[in-house]
Amino acid sequence: MSASPTATAETLDARLRAFAAHLRDPVAHPAPPGIEDRRMQVYRDLVFNNVRDLLSGNFPVIRKTLPAQAFDALARDFLAHHRAHTPLFPELGQEFLRFLEQRAVAGAGDPPWLAELAHYEWVELALQLADTPVPAHDARGDMMEGVPLVSPLAWPLAYAWPVQRIGPACVPEAPPAAPTLLLVRRDAHGEIHFSTLSPLVYRLLQLLDAGEAVSGRAALAQLAREAGAADADAFMCEGAAMLQRLRDEGTLLGTREA
């Protein structure tokens, strides 16, 4: 008597799952029976090399900074143990970030700067692919009396480690006393720009992007209080010029429409 279609499908599904489990983690999962190991090795190498090469392309600085064996071990652990939320290759970088976060929680012993450097490398591609709609705004609005609108394609970033300097020739042993504050933005031509932010400008963008309808004047007044500015009038004057520069470069779109 021949096997039923359901039984055949279940057997095929079990074999495919065993095959995939072995390719992901050959140490923990034996190869399905009846397949020559030489042939399995071809598949094992193909799957691992593809994953490693994709990670290398997404995180070239990490690939060059870590010893080759350490990077390969990280790629193997990612392949073996991370369960991705999406099958899309462009999302691999974000999946790797989740993987590194899980390792940090588990105390895997990675370099303490690794997760932040990975995020810094991921940001450029993420912003290139970002499809966030630009909200309605008044590009010529009064930046002091109106509510300045931060572009959804301008991301202020704060890191404990100097991620923009880390590389094979610069591997810090301890984070600096001050955080690294950066701005990454995409311009109208699709180009990505990185720049360093002062603590005051970073805080100003935080205040403007907090989701509350805060006028430019009110945000600068709060910033002056927080900074303990000795000359509030001079601070407000310089702040108004800063709001204009941020609009000119595209970090601020203008003001919110009523």
Handedness of CA 135, 140, 146, 147 (dihedral sign): positive
Q: How many other CB atoms sit within 10 Å of the CB of residue 139?
A: 10
Residue closest to 198 by CA, chosen among 253, 233, 256, 246? 246
Per domain, the residue ranges of the chain are: 1-129, 133-258
Residue 4: the pLDDT is 57
Residue closest to 40 by CA, chosen among 19, 70, 9? 19
Q: pTM for this one?
A: 0.89
Which residues, at least 6 apart from 77, have a Cβ–Cβ distance to it below 8 Å?
99, 103
- Running DSSP on this structure, what letter comes out for residue 35? S
Right CATH for 133-258 from 3.60.15.10, 3.40.50.1100, 3.90.930.50, 3.40.50.2000: 3.90.930.50
Residue 65: the pLDDT is 98
Q: Are 156 and 179 in contact (CB under 8 A)?
A: no
Q: Are 251 and 151 in contact (CB under 8 A)?
A: yes
Residue 1: the pLDDT is 45
- Full pLDDT tens readout for the chain, 258 residues: 455 555 565 577 788 888 888 888 888 888 888 888 898 899 999 999 999 999 999 999 999 999 999 999 999 999 999 988 887 888 899 999 999 999 999 999 999 999 999 999 999 999 999 998 888 999 999 999 999 999 999 999 999 999 999 999 999 999 999 999 999 999 989 999 999 999 999 999 999 998 788 999 999 999 999 999 999 999 999 999 999 999 999 999 999 986
